[in-house]
Structure 1
Amino acid sequence: MALSKKQGVVVGVTAAAIAAIVAVGAVVALNQPAAATAADSTPKPTKSAAKISADSVPWVEGDVVPKAVEALKKSGFTPVEPGKLTVAVGAFVPPLSYVPDGKTLPAGTEPNIGSLIAQGLGLKYNPVVVAWADWPLGIQSGKYDLITSNVTVTEARKELLDFASYRQDLLGFYVKSDSRITKIEKAADISGLKIVVGSGTNQEQVLLKWNDELKTAGKAPADLQYYDDNAAATLALQSGRVDAVFGPNAAYAWAARETGATKLVGIVPGGWPQAAAIAAGTAKGNGLIEPVNIVLNELIANGKYAQVLKGWGLDSEGVTTSEINPPGLPKS
């Protein structure tokens, strides 16, 4: 995606570096704690929750975190607008970030996390909806203080940004809620199954590798199915023409929560075979990331963080601690 021509070139940021920052993490790229691999810390399969609409998910309010406020004062960080935390967010689809019908402010996990961070720092939350390609320059140039928009930590991005992790980037296997399939965790589990997957995606590479393992073992590989849109894939799953769908967990988790028609039976790290975290990002060395990290860990400790994820059906992507600049996906 091309960077916005309206953005000025940031001094000291090369075109190659910016390209590296933008490249990873499409709208629903979408992260297991840093040092994990595909076999580590796999969440348990879950049954679908009752039907729910996006409008019924409550917005979680937070409190000031004195320790974070004190750290912010000592950091020397100056917000874009005095008394406010200007946070870049996307406007895509539930559960991550979207603008509800008739509303002007974004909702979803990412805006709510941004709001809780602002409240913890004792600042007014000032969300700004931005295009995916525009946020790196916006953060670097000081147009935005922070981004909470499903950003994956990568080694390339860490050269220019500081991060505080708050979610795992995961890929999920989903089946019909009444399916006899109870788990998909390794190559043997997909033998003979028809699985919907996106062409040219990391999840396709997972299945192709597993199919190679099955063929070497003399077992039937999975039959990979490709659809142009989610509606067609969903219809194929519900009609029994395919056994499972495999893709970004966040989107499928919300669909399961919203409709009750599917259930999670397996998780794979989003950067398979490596994993990285979803994190809040800010300009490197500006002093903001330490206070943000303090707020995030307080939110984890007091249960507010869990409330946000539970409301949107993303419990499986939760973390037990926020890390500053955890290991990210390697440079390509």
Structure 2
Amino acid sequence: MSLSSRRRRISTALAVAILGLFVGGCGSGDGGSDSVRTVNGQVYDLSPEQATRVHADKVDAIAALVPQAIRDRGTLIVTGAATSAPPLRFHATDDRTIVGSEVDFATLFADILGLKVDLRAADWTQNFVKVDSGEVDAFISNVTVTEERKEKYDFATYRLDNLALEVPNGANWTYTDRKSLAGKKIGVQSGTNQEQVLVSWNEANIAAGLPKIDITYYQQSTDYYLALASGRLDGLLGPNPAAQYHSATAGQTKVVATFSGAGDALQAEIGVLTRKDNGLVGAFQKAVQYAIDHGTYQKVIDRWGLKSEVVQQSRINPPGLPKPKP
């Protein structure tokens, strides 16, 4: 077993053990022996079987919008982050099966399109390469709509994009605004919109004569959490669902602020990312909207505790996070 695999298994085991202290465990009526209940009553199914996953029937009129070559193949090839964090995309208790809200959304949309989902995983930046080459049909893994990405890709939105600042429970500083981060060591994942937001805050702080933010990068989500717990990080800026899940289950950190993934400019959105010339974005938008209108979308939202991320309308290529300044 690799070091990263051992860390993932340890992280899951610790979460289950810590939760047992809060809620005294949970029985099969809460989703099976592999399920985890957070302190606020939300149940997360961590089992590889995913017996409670939400499905839908094929909708012929929407399925007809899928390019013929993909219909003939019968599968929808979807890639996503290999090392994301619960509840978005993560390894089940068998340490092999990828589960989470983004897997459920991919499966649901594929159902409506009359296709069997073929899940793939890669490092964050490699997922864009796989879309570019045509190796995969879509990238569904908490991908934010940005103006820069829209130059090469199309988006069909399905969630709001909110970020959270997570700090150790014993933090001796208070967050008020971006100026509070001056001189602090803040973790963020490279190549993400949260990195872009954090960099812009740092630039604004420096322009105002404040100390720079010590922006710190790790390879694995478990590394970030270990750094937070040990005090080697003052804070972590990441996806709000992951921060809420981790703070509730591990009991070592707290969320002190949430933000739009586009910063102060607008409310960011998460979308299904496809290559501009592969003809899929219209089908995805119709599939997402159908799921919203017929209740299956809400079931996925409820299953993973994402009520703060709900959208009422799927949009194609809405305004996104502005381009970084030259």
Q: TM-score, normalised by structure 1?
A: 0.64
| Cα gap change, 1:50 to 1:125, in 2 (>3 Å) | same
- How far off is 1:153 after superposition? 1.8
Q: In the aligned structure 1, how far is the partner of 2:108 from the partner of 2:79? A: 14
Q: Does 1:197 align with 2:186?
A: yes
Q: In the aligned structure 2, how far is the partner of 1:162 from the partner of 1:49? A: 37
| Cα gap change, 1:212 to 1:320, in 2 (>3 Å) | farther
Does the CA contact (< 8 Å) of 2:54 and 2:299 recur in 1?
no
Equivalent position SS for 2:148: helix
Question: Which residue does the alignment assign to 1:271?
Answer: 262
Does the CA contact (< 8 Å) of 1:282 and 1:289 recur in 2?
yes
- How far off is 1:292 after superposition? 1.1
Does the CA contact (< 8 Å) of 1:64 and 1:119 recur in 2?
yes
Question: Which residue does the alignment assign to 1:112?
Answer: 104
| Cα gap change, 1:195 to 1:255, in 2 (>3 Å) | farther
Question: Which residue does the alignment assign to 2:151?
Answer: 159
Does the CA contact (< 8 Å) of 1:171 and 1:203 recur in 2?
no
Structure 1 residue runs of 5 or longer lacking an equivalent are 1-46
Question: Which residue does the alignment assign to 2:243?
Answer: 252
**Corresponding residue pairs, total:** 272
Question: Which residue does the alignment assign to 1:173?
Answer: 165
| Cα gap change, 1:260 to 1:325, in 2 (>3 Å) | same
Does the CA contact (< 8 Å) of 1:90 and 1:132 recur in 2?
yes
Q: Does 1:62 align with 2:55?
A: yes
Question: Which residue does the alignment assign to 2:228?
Answer: 233
Does the CA contact (< 8 Å) of 1:195 and 1:245 recur in 2?
no
Q: In the aligned structure 2, how far is the partner of 1:114 from the partner of 1:77? A: 19
Q: In the aligned structure 2, how far is the partner of 1:136 from the partner of 1:107? A: 21
Give the alignment partner of residue 72 of structure 1, picking from 33, 39, 63. 63
Does the CA contact (< 8 Å) of 2:63 and 2:114 recur in 1?
no
- How far off is 1:145 after superposition? 1.7
- How far off is 1:204 after superposition? 4.2
Does the CA contact (< 8 Å) of 1:86 and 1:144 recur in 2?
yes
Q: In the aligned structure 1, how far is the partner of 2:302 from the partner of 2:251? A: 15
Question: Which residue does the alignment assign to 1:94?
Answer: 85
Higher relative contact order at CA 8 Å, sep ≥6: structure 1 or structure 2? 1
Q: Output the aligned Cα RMSD.
A: 4.0
Identity %, equivalent residues: 28
Q: In the aligned structure 2, how far is the partner of 1:206 from the partner of 1:74? A: 40
Does the CA contact (< 8 Å) of 1:185 and 1:267 recur in 2?
no
Question: Which residue does the alignment assign to 2:27?
Answer: none
Please list, as runs of the form range in 1=range in 2, the aligned pairs for 1:207-246 lying within 5 A after superposition. 208=202, 229-230=223-224, 231-236=226-231, 246=237
Does the CA contact (< 8 Å) of 1:50 and 1:258 recur in 2?
no
Does the CA contact (< 8 Å) of 2:206 and 2:212 recur in 1?
no
Q: In the aligned structure 2, how far is the partner of 1:110 from the partner of 1:89? A: 8
- How far off is 1:207 after superposition? 5.9
